[in-house]
Structure formats: structure tokens, C-alpha cells
Structure 1
């Protein structure tokens, strides 16, 4: 398993943006462990050997039925528990202001406001005993996945600047060619809309700021939507060393 931040991106399958969220400092002095939680774009996995080293027990697919039909990953053939947890952003994207200086930040805030129950269910899935190692993915591994991973990291005490830096790594891996090759049914950003292709840390920071100001932080957001504190504590223990 990868043990170096320089190799955080993993060359598994045909992914562009498969990353390990290990070795992040947590406020209580712990660090997230390697090989426990991964984030990714969607791709077709046709060989179990590609996945063996990850030891996945759970996959959470954030795409809707149309997206899954357009690009089936095949992960259910190799992973015991593949969960479909659609976080459809289409209606939220269409409601964004055309004049916004940060449309992605607005989208992530809208996901908090409009998809709180769904987001909490996903974190609860990851907090189940035995759920890890787990992979969370959407189409690009950027927006829906970015918000979920940010909630998880923030809830266990990873500082906001580290959360935003992890999110922004996506910009290093998702090229114009990646977006151009996405199926038209994808729920990811329209290939013609370059404003939604980026991954600026400021966009995630904007969401984290609202999370703190309006909800009292990630833990309070999740408990306010019904996730027990004990589940978050278990997730902290499972993800750190």
C-alpha cells in the first residue's frame, strides 16, 4: 500500500483521480491511516488484480441510474458491498447564478443545504463497523466526492486548510481530455462549461465556512441530521492511528 504523499494518486484501473486520503494530521494529534479510505472518478474495472491491494470492503457510488448505465464500473464483481447513494447535482447546477464568481463553491453549499440527509447516510455507511477500507466515487471524483470526503475529514478533526488542499489535488489530475471523454449522461460538469472543471481550494473553503457558520461544523451538521456522535467517534478511530 502507498506510504508516501508523493504517491497519493494510485495507478489502479483506468482512473485519473483515484487517491488515498492517508497521512493527514488530525486536530487531536492522530493522523489518517493509509489504505483506509479512497476517493476516485468512475472507470471500468475488468480485472480484480487491479483492486486486490486496496482490499476494499465497501464502495459508495454517488452517481444516479443514468450515469451508472452509461459507465458501469464492474466493481460489484470484486467488492463485497457496493452501495448506490445518488447525489444528483443536476437541479442544483441549473440553479446556480450565471454571474457567480465561484459557481463550484455555490454548488457545494447547495449540496449542504439540499442534500443533508443523503450526505449523512453516506457518512453513516462509512462509519459502520467493518466498512473500511472503502472507496467513494462519482463521475469525476471532484464535486460530489469532494463534498463527502470533506465532510468525513472535517468531522474527524482534519483542519480546514488540509481538507481544502486535498480537494484541490484533483486539479492536478483531471485534464480537458478527461472532461471531453465523459459520457453525455454523466452528472459531472458539462464538458463545455470550463468554469465547473476546476478544483480551487477557495471553493471548498467556501463550503467549509458555511458548514461552520450555519451548522456549527461537520460533526454538528451530521449529528443534526441524525448520525450519532458514537458513529463519528468510531469513524475517527477506524480512519486514524
Structure 2
């Protein structure tokens, strides 16, 4: 497994869990192209400088917002929307009526939630992948609330589809665990609330085995992440465009 930390984290005034997918190693050589797909938490705390950097140096031209409608009402669309950047609303969770799959007692409940995204909102999941594939220039920013679960699932599917090795897909997902405490410190300070106790923070930290199990279940039940995408509406041409957009098979 490659060291995934250096040079991929992005520092902003109003974001804590922000990084570029670019730099992840590809099976057989090459890396994911930088400046194409960024992953973050929600955008309501962006400073004017953050907006200028995202829309300028980093070239963000569209946002994929995976939050529920009620989250949008409470926290707003964020400053990128106010700056005129196109925001695609692609909620991964229905507001009512979730039916999570049954799993063994030893399986972490979050695995069921991740499978639930695919069962409840397959159209939105595939649309998120399609939006990344169809952009010929500029960067896409994908976010949910904390940038770890809904965002983690979409990024894992995209990473798998373009040829990132399974162990590196899992390791990238787990990187968000290192930002949970800082994320909650920023949120609670801004709202004048106390920090949650350590055991509550632990429950929010993504763990590698959750994503590993989720992807293994996709292998067993659907033939893998790529086959799930194709079975749910992604076309072969779109898959080729996604790979062309994100793969740098001969990085300098």
C-alpha cells in the first residue's frame, strides 16, 4: 500500500476534511490525475478566500451535494452556490422510508447504511459518477456533511472504477478518521456547543474494515463496484470517459 497522506490534503479556513483524489496510485502504474475530483465536508463555513481559491487556483466548476433536503434547509447550500458554481443535488438518503439490508450481527451497521445508499438512491449514485465523467475541464467537488460516509462511498466507487487498487481505496476512505476531532472542534466552536466525549467521536471515525466489507459485499452480490455501476445505468462510454478524465497513466 502506498503512503496516501503527503500532498493530497487541502488547507482552507472553513474546511477540515478536504483532499484531492489526485495522486492515488493506479494498478499497473500511473496515478489519479490531480485537480479533477476534490472531496470535502459541507461548505457553509467557507471564507471569501476559500471561495476564491476553489473557483480560481483549484478550478472548481461543479459541486455534487449528497446531503438530505433537511440538511440543506438547516445549513444552506454554501458559498460556492452563492458564487454561481453549479450545484447538483444528489441526496443519498431518502427523507423517509429507509429499508436497510439485513446483515450478520458481526457486521458493522455502517456497512448496511452504505449498501442502503445504493438501494435507496441508485439513480443519484450513478448520476454522481456520470457528472464527474462528463466534465471535460475543471474540477468537481463532492461533499456531504462530514465528507466521510456518503462522500466516501461515491469516491470509493469512482476510485475503483478508474483502477485504484482495493487496498488504496480503503486506505483513502480511512484517512478521514484523522480529521474527525478537528472537524468537531470547528463545528462546536462555531455553534457555541461543547465537544462530544471521546467515545462519541470514535463512533464517527471511519474504519478501514467498514469500507473493506462494503466492497467485498459488492463483489459477492453484484460482481464488484464497476459491475454495480454498469447494472444501474452507467454506460460503457461513460466508464471510458471517467477513466480518461481521471487516469494519468504516464505522470511526469
TM-score, with length taken from structure 2 = 0.81
User: How many angstroms does 1:86 deviate by?
Assistant: 0.9
Equivalent pairs counted in the alignment come to: 232
Measure the CA separation in 2 of the matches of 1:232 and 1:94: 28
- Match of 2:149? 143
Measure the CA separation in 1 of the matches of 2:214 and 2:10: 27
Measure the CA separation in 1 of the matches of 2:109 and 2:148: 14
Match of 1:71 among 75, 85, 92: 75
- Match of 2:194? none
Is the 8 Å Cα contact of residues 93 and 117 (structure 2) preserved in structure 1?
no
TM-score, with length taken from structure 1 = 0.84
Spell out the pairing of 1:223-238 with structure 2 (5 A cutoff).
223-238=230-245
User: Is 1:163 matched up with 2:163?
Assistant: no
Match of 1:62 among 66, 78, 85: 66
Measure the CA separation in 1 of the matches of 2:237 and 2:201: 41
Spell out the pairing of 1:40-189 with structure 2 (5 A cutoff).
40-44=40-44, 45-47=46-48, 48-51=51-54, 52-72=56-76, 73-78=78-83, 80-88=85-93, 92=98, 101-130=107-136, 132-175=138-181, 178=184, 181=188
User: How many angstroms does 1:181 deviate by?
Assistant: 3.0
Q: Deviations over 1:35-54 (max 9, x none)?
A: 11110101322413232221
Is the 8 Å Cα contact of residues 9 and 19 (structure 1) preserved in structure 2?
yes
- Match of 1:188? none
Q: Secondary structure at the match of 2:219?
A: helix
Structure of larger gyration radius: 2
**CA 1:36 to 1:215, structure 2 compared with 1: closer, same or farther past 3 Å?**
same
Q: Which runs of 5+ in 1 are unaligned?
A: 185-190
Q: Which runs of 5+ in 2 are unaligned?
A: 192-197
User: How many angstroms does 1:66 deviate by?
Assistant: 1.5
